């Protein structure tokens, strides 16, 4: 059986198609690697690229993509709604088939050293690859974002795992990169019919596991924040579902919908950024269709798409979004 690793780097440019295409081409030129998905967002000013392949192939493709992003994206001029710390903001490895988490941790460490030594970019290891408890959580590393990186690098507790510990001219342009190993997560956003991002942030604080102002949140394995989409005149509760078996998509959607209703705000649909496991959609379809015993896979997935409003902003096409169909 083939060994397969998934890699999902996030780049801090969602507005320049030429930049995104050049990064994508770096990945496509590597043998034993298959590009699955490229998804850009103008408001977030962020692009998420998903590819799979052999461990060595995926690591090589990730290095090439990070190098190209460092060449093309100038962080001293970059702005966007999504938190970010560098041109390649985060680069996780995910075990898919016949690969252990330990292998992905090794890949993260090897890539981190290569990026630090060859490209002169500060690298922090996170999630399962983290070397300290504080660095397991991406939000801790990203706190202060690119604008706070100079101060972060001057702090002894925040020296990078690899690469320079000073804010030189190279780092001023590239920022830092966070590399790690994790299990599959779903990047999931729920749309609110309001332009007031304070409402989105209020709902995010109620539902996310960490809660708000010392009060625990309602949903386990959920990270959330409010984001304004100026281009669409709406806001989103932007979530990472770090374990969709603990908090499924439909549970997260209904929780946001419930809190929005209490505030007199309408939910107009949702979107999945990047790819989604088939099981997550089938579970949602069973919930919304009352678990019909004779329902086909297609009927269950279509039921999920319809009830979650997944085609409100952009059309949701299962063949292009469900990871099992692409692999």
On the CB side of 36, CA atoms within 13 Å amount to 27
- 177 phi, psi to nearest 5 deg: -130, 140
The b/e string for 76-99 (b: 16+ C-beta within 10 A; e otherwise) is eebebbbbbbbbbbbbbbbbbeeb
Residue among 3, 24, 68, 82 flagged as catalytic? 82
Sign of CA pseudo-dihedral 285, 289, 290, 296 = negative
> Residue-wise over 138-162: b if at least 16 C-beta within 10 A, else e?
beebbeebbeebeebbeeeebebbb
| 232 is annotated as an active-site residue | no
Which among 145, 147, 178 has a CA at the least distance from the CA of 162? 178
Q: Cβ(326)–Cβ(317) under 8 Å? A: no
Q: Which residues are catalytic?
A: 82
């Amino acid at each position: 059986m083939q060994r397969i690793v998934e890699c999902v780097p996030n780049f801090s440019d969602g507005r320049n198609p030429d930049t995104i295409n050049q990064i994508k081409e770096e990945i496509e030129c590597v043998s034993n690697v298959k590009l699955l998905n490229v998804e850009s967002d103008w408001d977030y000013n962020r692009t998420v690229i998903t590819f799979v392949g052999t461990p060595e192939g995926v690591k090589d493709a990730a290095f090439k993509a990070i190098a190209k992003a460092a060449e093309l994206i100038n962080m001293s001029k970059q702005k966007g709604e999504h938190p970010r710390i560098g041109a390649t903001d985060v680069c996780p490895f995910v075990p898919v088939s016949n690969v252990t988490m330990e292998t992905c941790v090794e890949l993260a460490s090897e890539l981190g050293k290569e990026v630090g030594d060859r490209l002169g970019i500060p690298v922090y290891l996170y999630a399962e690859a983290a070397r300290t408890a504080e660095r397991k959580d991406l939000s801790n590393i990203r706190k202060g974002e690119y604008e706070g990186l100079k101060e972060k690098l001057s702090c002894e507790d925040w020296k990078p795992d690899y690469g320079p510990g000073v804010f030189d001219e190279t780092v001023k342009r590239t920022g830092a990169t966070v590399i790690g190993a994790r299990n599959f997560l779903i990047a999931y956003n729920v749309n609110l019919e309001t332009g007031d991002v304070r409402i989105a942030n209020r709902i995010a604080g109620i539902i996310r596991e960490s809660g708000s102002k010392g009060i625990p949140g309602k949903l386990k394995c959920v990270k959330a924040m409010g984001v304004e989409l100026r281009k669409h005149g709406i806001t989103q509760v932007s979530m990472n579902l770090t374990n969709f078996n603990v908090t499924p998509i439909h549970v997260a959607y209904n929780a946001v919908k419930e809190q929005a209703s209490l505030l007199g705000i309408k939910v107009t649909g949702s979107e999945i950024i990047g790819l989604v496991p088939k099981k997550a959609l089938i579970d949602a379809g069973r919930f919304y269709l009352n678990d019909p015993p004779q329902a086909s896979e297609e009927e269950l997935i279509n039921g999920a798409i319809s009830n979650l409003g997944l085609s409100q902003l952009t059309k949701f096409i299962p063949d292009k979004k469900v990871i099992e169909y692409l692999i």
